[in-house]
Structure 1
Amino acid sequence: MTTPTCHKPGDSTGKARAAAAERLTTFVDAVIAIALTLLALDLPIPHGDTTGAMLSSISAHGKEYIAFALSFVVIAAHWRAHHEIFPQVRSLSSRLVSLTLAWLFMQVLMPFATRVITADGAFPLRFSLYAMVQVLASASFALIIREIRRGHLYRTDAPPPGVRPESDAQRLPGSGVRDVGSGLVPDRRHRRVPVLARRARHTRHRPPRRGSRTVSHS
Structure 2
Amino acid sequence: MRRPRPAGGPERLTTFSDGVYAIAMTLLVLDVSVPPDLDDAGFHTALRGLVPNLGAYALSFVVLVGFWRDHHRIFRIVRQIDSTVVTLCMFGLGVTALLPFPTTLVSEYGRDPASVAIYSAAVAALSTAHLGLLVVLRRRPWLRTEEPMPEGVWFAADLGSTAVVFLLSVPAALVFGPGVMWAWLGLIPLKTYLGRRTRFPDTDTYAGAPTDRG
Pairwise same-fold verdict (TM > 0.5): yes
CA 1:30–1:126: 2 relative to 1, 3 Å:
same
Give the distance between the partners of 2:23 and 2:151, measured in 1 at CA. 30
What is the aligned counterpart of 2:145 among 130, 140, 155?
155
Partner residue, 2:27: 38
Indicate the SS of the match to 1:90. Answer: coil
How many Å apart are 1:109 and its aligned residue?
1.0
2:78–2:145 CA contact under 8 A, matched in 1: yes
Correspondences of 1:33-182 after superposition (within 5 Å): 33-45=22-34, 48-50=38-40, 54-120=43-109, 123-152=112-141, 153-156=143-146, 158-163=147-152
Aligned length: 146
Q: Quote the RMSD (CA, aligned, Å).
A: 2.4
Hey, what's the Cα distance between the residues in 2 that align with 1:125 and 1:141? 25
Q: Secondary structure at the match of 2:137?
A: helix
Q: Distance in 2 between matches of 1:76 and 1:68?
A: 12
The residue type paired with residue 80 of structure 1 is R
What is residue 200 of structure 2 aligned with on the other side?
none
Q: Distance in 1 between matches of 2:109 and 2:69?
A: 32
Larger RCO, structure (CA 8 Å, separation 6 or more) = 2
Decide whether aligned partners of structure 1 residues 143 and 59 sit closer, same or farther in structure 2, where only a CA change above 3 A counts. same
Structure with the higher fraction of residues in helix conformation: 2
How far is the alpha carbon of 1:69 from its aligned partner?
0.4
Question: Percent of aligned pairs with the same residue?
Answer: 35
Unmatched segments (≥5 aa) in structure 2: 1-5, 154-214
How far residue 160 of structure 1 moved from its aligned partner, in angstroms, is 3.6
TM-score of the superposition, structure 2-length normalised? 0.62
Give the structure with higher Rg (CA).
1
Structure 1 residues 154 and 55: alpha-carbon distance in aligned structure 2, compared to 1, 3 A threshold? farther
